[in-house]
Each structure stands twice: as C-alpha cells, then as structure tokens.
Amino acid sequence: MGGDCCAQEGHGAGDARFDIKKVAEGVHLAFAAPAYKVNSNTAIIESDDGVVIVDTHSKPSAARVIVDRLRELTPKPVRYVINTHFHWDHWHGNEVYPAAYPGAEIVTNQITREAMLRKGLKRIQDHVRQVPAEIATLEADLAAATGAGQRAKLEHDLRMARSYLAEVKGLKPALPTIAFEQTMKIYRRDREIHLLHLGRAHTEGDVFVHLPREKVVITGDALIGWTPYMGDGYPEEWVGTLDRLAQLDFTHIIMGHGDVVGREWLATFRGYVHDLVEAVRREAATGAPLDEVKQRVPAALAPAYEKPFSRYGDYRPWRQQILGNIERTFAQVG
C-alpha cells in the first residue's frame, strides 16, 4: 500500500497538491496536502470501461490537478463522480469533470443533493462575501510583518486567498445528476461499487462507498484522520452510523482527510465521538454552563485522545478543534 507517485502540482493548481497512493488493484487515494483552503481527498476507482471519482475538492483548479494525473494513469474516461456530502471542500470541483469528460454523471443521495441546494449554494456566496475580509487581514499582517519567514508565508497566503476569491466568484456549481435514497449499486464487469446511506453523522446525508471485493470503504468526512468538524453534524447519532459501517466487510479505509487507515482507526474515532457525547451529557445533566463544560471535557478526554488525534501535528490542533465539537454536542444534548 505504498505511494506510486509523488505530489502533483499541475498547471494553475496553486497550493493543490496530492500524493497518489495505491490502495488496491485499480483503486487509488489522492491524498490532499495541507492548503490555504482545505482540500478533500479524492478516491479513484478504475474499472474495465471507465473511472469513478469520489469527491472533488474545494475548487476547480484542485480537481484539474486530479484530471491531469488521471490522464497519466489511464486513457479511460470518468463515468461517475460521487459526492459524499454537501460541504464545499468536497464538491466545488464538480464542474471540471463533465467539462473534461462529457457524459460524466455526478451522483449523491437525495438528502445531500437537497442540502447542496438549501445550504451549499448559500455557502458559495458566503465565501464571496467573507474572503475579501481575509485578504484585508492578510494585507495588514503583511504590512506589519518584519521577519523574512513570516513575510514569505503571508505573501503565499495572500496569493492563495486572492486566487481562491477569483475561483469562487467564477464557480459554476455542478449539482448531482443522479440521486439515490438509501443504496445504489454500480456494476462493472470487473468491479462492484456500493453507495450507502447508513444514517446521520458528519452531515444529514453522508454517503459511504464500499468496494466489497477489494475490501475498501470510502467514508467522506464521517471518518477523518484528525478531530472531526461537527458544525453540521449529529454527534448523538454518529456512533450508531459508524457501528453500521463497522458491519461491512473491509480492511482499508479511504477517509475524507488523512491517509489510508485500517479498522483500528475506526475504533479509535468511534470511541472519541462516543466518549465526547457521554462526557458532555454528564456535564449538562449537572447544569454546568457551556464555558465550564469546555474546560472540563478536554481535560477528561485528553489522556485517551489528544495524542492519536494529533498525529498530523498542528494542522488541526485537537485542543482547539474539540471546543467546537463540545459546543455542537452541548446544543443537542443540553
């Protein structure tokens, strides 16, 4: 399960870089490197007559990096693009695939397609409004910066912010053309691809992709390599959804963010969500205010979870990320 390619930048890619890693025969992970605006991973599934792509990143230029890499991997066309959920960093590159591969269908479940319409399109406009303020802050920070290293980082971030603003203003959101309810199966001569909605977790409509013969599952952000974002999540239901996932037959997990993992990480991640909910519920039952809960719960969970959830260093600090998780959970159980 080693990498078979180094990072690919591509033309006009900005900071979109991916390591391509073979997970099974004809199945690859495009592992997203840290970027100014986070990019999701992409899964690449090759079959006898075409390719299936899972998730398309936060911007079209990132998706074009994958298209360039695909053309090196295979002459076969992309036939299906699957979106695991409605968050912007997983579908804003959708428009690239039908343009590059006419006839490509975009697939998700009905819940996620409706969330894209109801919430996802609004978030595009939110970014158009918000990014100019980010740019102004970066410009002010750059003007005040003295150290060469600090200036170089700010200059890079400023270039990326300006580039992102131009991209998000020009987005042509490509919504799914096929939507399913609970399950959908794609049969090729040499491969089965099962699309499943197992319940609410990271969002109301998380899609899991299961390759039963290869024993691979693709989870989107219902399972990631660091502390999850729960702002649109359902912490109390998340564990049950992961338990249903665990009933599937697989050995390798391609997550929405982070490297390929095995079932042991699923157990750790499930433990975190379960213990977070129980800890917040106990605190809320005593009548403790949110501020106190945000002090006590990290201290209680740190011995078990701070180290495993910090394996990517300070990219997504556990102590910082858990505070948002506590707020979301407290609002639901309190």
Q: What is the pLDDT of residues 268-311, one digit of tens each?
A: 999 999 999 999 999 999 999 999 999 999 999 999 999 999 98
Average pLDDT over residues 176-203: 97
Under 8 Å between Cβ of 217 and 251: no
| Strand 178-180 with 183-188, pairing | unpaired
152 inside domain: yes
pLDDT of residue 163: 94
285 inside domain: yes
Render the burial of 194-215: b for 16+ CB within 10 Å, e for the rest: bbbbbbbbbbbbbbbbbbeebe
| Domain hosting residue 315, numbered range | 270-333
164 inside domain: yes
**Helix H or strand E encompassing 45:** strand 42-46
190 inside domain: no
Which one, of 252, 238, 221, 231, lies nearest residue 32 by Cα?
221
Q: Name the domain boundary from 133, 153, 169.
A: 169
Q: Name the domain boundary from 140, 169, 198.
A: 169
Counting the structural domains of the chain, the total is 2
Under 8 Å between Cβ of 224 and 257: yes
In terms of C-beta density within 10 A (0-12 exposed, 13-18 middle, 19 or more buried), how is residue 323 classed? middle
pLDDT tens for each residue of 150-160:
999 999 999 99
3-state DSSP: the chain helix, strand, coil percent, rounded to 5? Answer: 45, 20, 35
201 inside domain: no
20 inside domain: no
Tell me how crowded residue 81 is: count the other CB atoms within 10 A of its CB: 29
145 inside domain: yes
Distance CA 121, CA 112 (A): 12
Instruction: For the chain, give the mean pLDDT.
Output: 94
309 inside domain: yes
Q: Over 60: is that where the pLDDT of 188 sits?
A: yes
* Residue 8 confidence class, pLDDT cut points 50, 70, 90: very low
pLDDT of residue 14: 76
Distance CA 105, CA 290 (A): 45
Determine phi and psi for 247, rounding to 5 degrees.
-75, -15
